[in-house]
Chains A and B, each alone.
Chain A
């Protein structure tokens, strides 16, 4: 399982990287953490002619807290998110999710941007981005554009990124007072991709659910918000019974596909069980 031949470039800046991507288009792939891309090369299910290694582009790294946002650079390693005090303070949902992402050795190399750009439907970070209403910052030849998470994830390994574009960061709004989050996933073995997972963020102010975003992963071709379920909860008191009564709405939100080990029916069942357990964590 040796990687096929490719040509390798290591740009020092975003501009250089964009130039390479623009020149080689579909022949090129971006190499960030490599924890998902390199296995694909080793299995020879991907054979890009050019690999653009962005790991030395300083502008892409770093976690920055502004008055309104937490900006996570695309090249931020998972381990940095895991250890960051800023993330723990301002984005507790992400902090809770990080220990579920693979294993320490993977987290030391894998990047936030890589995970979101790949958009594996069973990955944790895209769902967190969706639940927290993050905005992705994308750079192209014509400049930067911003894409809301809900528009960014478009299908199985498909995002709004165009071939010659580069994901540079994501901006997470600072949570407002009265907001809480909860996270959970079911996996056969610790660190596996989730069979089913859910990231929840919303307000519990005044003992009522409101502005709820319930993002599932592992149950569709992309992370998805369970709108009917969330709407059924909004306005309801933050008690366990509210959650239980709303679970049936998930039939309208989710149309899971079977995978190697679970039928679609099993996936839906597990999604409901998990949604109940995780959303109940928001209950006082």
Chain B
């Protein structure tokens, strides 16, 4: 039976032979479970050398003098290169998106030249035969610094009295933007109640288990460079390395094999990585840079350092009328190239309050430069803040009016039949399911039961908290995200798929895998469309020499965009195969189908296997008509056209207990209902939700990059920076709602970030729910025991 309907041009995803919606295990998991991963640091090349960097110990300092003679004489040292020398070989880059109007950032070089602008900024490269010897020599490089006053307080960043980081700018302002529907003041005036609060989010970072690593191999003979990189966007990197190092782009090859976690951390342009490539160019031999954990903390991008003032106006019945926010964020001394450090703030302006029906909205965002580590996109970019702010304000209003938080949401969430519609900030929603998700969540968590239990336990002095959040999530971005702003980051993606000589299918895709299951779901899609078993499908990713030009994986685009390209390519290949089959079986293609790897006359078992068909095409063309040429390799591309982003949505719930004597918060259980459109692999979607939620828990309760008043990062170790560990994490129950997007045949939206976006809001609401009867409230994250004790007035 045919899965694909020619007339309606739709695929029956629910057919018996469909892999769509099945929780198949990942073919590449076995290899990883056996320790046969190929991470960058596992790769060894002939004559390979290692680089370590002298990094600024100061937040802001003039580099007066660098003496490298002593270091250069040390055992194993091959070459020492300063920032000024690297600047001769590498063009600087500017991390600005032109569609973020007014955004500015000065040109940045890979290594600091003249001035170091954050503690940890690399300034001298030491290349040696081993990493240990390079580090020995790093210690022997003598740098004279003249310490400069540092700009470290975002609230004061724009005061004329604050140190100005860049001479060429009149202030430390990087970007500012206001969104205004025009009626906020009037709505606030007329409102029955206006609630106000200021919420602070702690700067934190990704902590991928595999630190950043790059192995650049420049071949002087053919002026080509192969770069083994643990990045998410190989083609983007190809363009950057080629343009910055003045190499021909087609002679630069980026290979991303196994990546030990990325979450957006490994999608940015790091000076220490570009410098490693430049060193390979200079030395004409492979240069490996593998960051250690200390330098990861100092130089992996940080994120989520925001102070948000919010006001929410509601009427007597609790209907939301107007929302206003003022977001201040202090990034690094430069806006990160090429995606800019303004996107996180921009998302907050665009997305805060997105699930709700209020009509009036005003949002002001201010992004300022700071002499701290660079800041940029990290999983769920801006969403955790946008969602936590709105969800907090909704709960505050509900509490003041005596309305149950679940009721408050059901009253105010955009109805499921209201689509398509637009948010007050201008976001266009195709079709979301807030009400359905909330209903499903409340049933799943037994909300009423939890409330009853909470009431009972309160009598015994046990303080349980229940928190909810509703969220929207940006997925499947169109060129309106980056391309429109001048960044050479592909929003389209492609798939080249072929029927190989032995009858197997090989699909090369421009999206990439970092463990989320990209290769698996592409195989599921291809196998479904083609009518073959998944085990015959091989998926190629992560090599610019082997795959169509694509965007890689970010903003939860792989399933929706990469998947659609795979689907279209597979269907086109199937059409070509059926044409061959028609010729061989002497019938018409419309009479044929592919079932279980066999081209058969519909409804029968008569036909030939794909292996037999391929054999004829590849080796025995004499058996085919002279005017017929089989084409068994097909490429298709896909981009999102109808919307700037295809939003997904969902709801999360949290149950926890607050020890009001110690301030400790114990997570009991969490729930997530996510509508990511058509679900390709439910288990993988659940696991993205779980992993994402735990990262959200990190930001809500544990993680913070702590700076002192001299701009020194105080907790740059795994012992002092608190990443969630197994014992404190709850079990997380996941469920799905499916509203397929009509922007593609596949109908899939993204799912990788929703967990992280929605969790902090639900957790903070739960803590405040527990504390409310005690007259206490927390408005900052991470919520540490001290945060709770201070809120309770038990500690000053």
Contacts and interface: CB of A to CB of B under 8 A. Distances in A.
Interface of A: 1-5, 43-44, 186, 188-193, 195, 260-263, 265-266, 269-270, 273-274
B795 A273 contact: no
B30 interface: no
Given A4-B136, A273-B662, 8 more contacts: A186-B662, A186-B664, A188-B702, A188-B728, A260-B715, A260-B720, A265-B796, A266-B663
B791 interface: no
Contact of B728 (A4, A190, A265, A266): A190
B136 A266 contact: no
B221 interface: no
B722 A188 contact: yes
Interface string B720-731: 101011011000
Interface of B: 130-132, 135-136, 139, 292-294, 661-664, 702, 706, 714-715, 717, 719-720, 722, 724-725, 727-728, 784-786, 789, 794-796
A5 B75 CA distance: 11
5 contacts: A189-B702, A192-B719, A260-B720, A261-B784, A265-B796
A189 B785 CA distance: 12
B661 A260 contact: no
Contacts of A193: 719
A185 to B, nearest CB: 11
Nearest to B134: A2
Contacts, number: 68
Given A3-B132, A269-B794, A262 B725 contact: no
A261 B135 contact: no
A267 B472 CA distance: 40
A273 B661 contact: yes
Tell me which of A44, A188, A265, A273 has the highest count of chain B C-beta atoms within 10 A of its own C-beta: A188
Contact of A266 (B131, B294, B786): B786
B664 A269 contact: no
Nearest to A196: B662
A1 B727 contact: no
Contacts of B715: 260
Given A262-B786, A265-B795, A265-B796, A2 B719 contact: no
B292 A1 contact: yes
Given A260-B714, A260-B720, A1 B795 contact: no
B790 to A, nearest CB: 8
Contacts of B717: 43
B395 to A, nearest CB: 25
A265 B714 CA distance: 20
Nearest to B796: A265
Contact of B293 (A1, A191, A270): A1
A274 B662 CA distance: 8
Given A1-B294, A2-B132, A43-B294, A263 B786 contact: yes
B529 to A, nearest CB: 46
Given A2-B132, A263-B786, A266-B786, A190 B795 contact: no
Nearest to B714: A260
Contacts of B724: 189
A108 to B, nearest CB: 18
A126 B135 CA distance: 35
Nearest to B659: A273
A190 B725 contact: yes
A23 to B, nearest CB: 25
A262 B727 contact: no
A44 B131 CA distance: 14
Given A190-B728, A260-B714, A266 B789 contact: yes
Contact of A270 (B662, B714, B720, B796): B662
Contacts of A1: 135, 292-294
Closest 5 CB pairs of A and B: A2-B132, A190-B727, A1-B292, A273-B661, A266-B786
Nearest to A272: B661
B662 A260 contact: no
Nearest to B723: A189
Nearest to B717: A43
Nearest to B728: A189
A190 B292 CA distance: 25
Nearest to B50: A2
Tell me which of A4, A5, A260, A261 has the highest count of chain B C-beta atoms within 10 A of its own C-beta: A261
Nearest to A47: B139
A195 B136 CA distance: 35
A141 B292 CA distance: 41
B719 A260 contact: no
A38 to B, nearest CB: 13
A263 B727 contact: no
Contacts of A273: 661-662
Nearest to A193: B719
B785 A270 contact: yes
A102 to B, nearest CB: 10
A265 B663 CA distance: 13
B290 to A, nearest CB: 11
A274 B727 CA distance: 20
B120 to A, nearest CB: 14
A62 to B, nearest CB: 30
A185 B136 CA distance: 40
Contacts of B789: 266, 269
A192 B785 CA distance: 15
Nearest to B293: A1
A186 B784 CA distance: 13
Contacts of A4: 135-136, 139
B795 A263 contact: yes
A269 B795 contact: yes
A265 B664 CA distance: 16
A270 to B, nearest CB: 6
A44 B139 contact: yes
B707 to A, nearest CB: 11
Contacts of B795: 263, 265-266, 269
Nearest to A188: B722
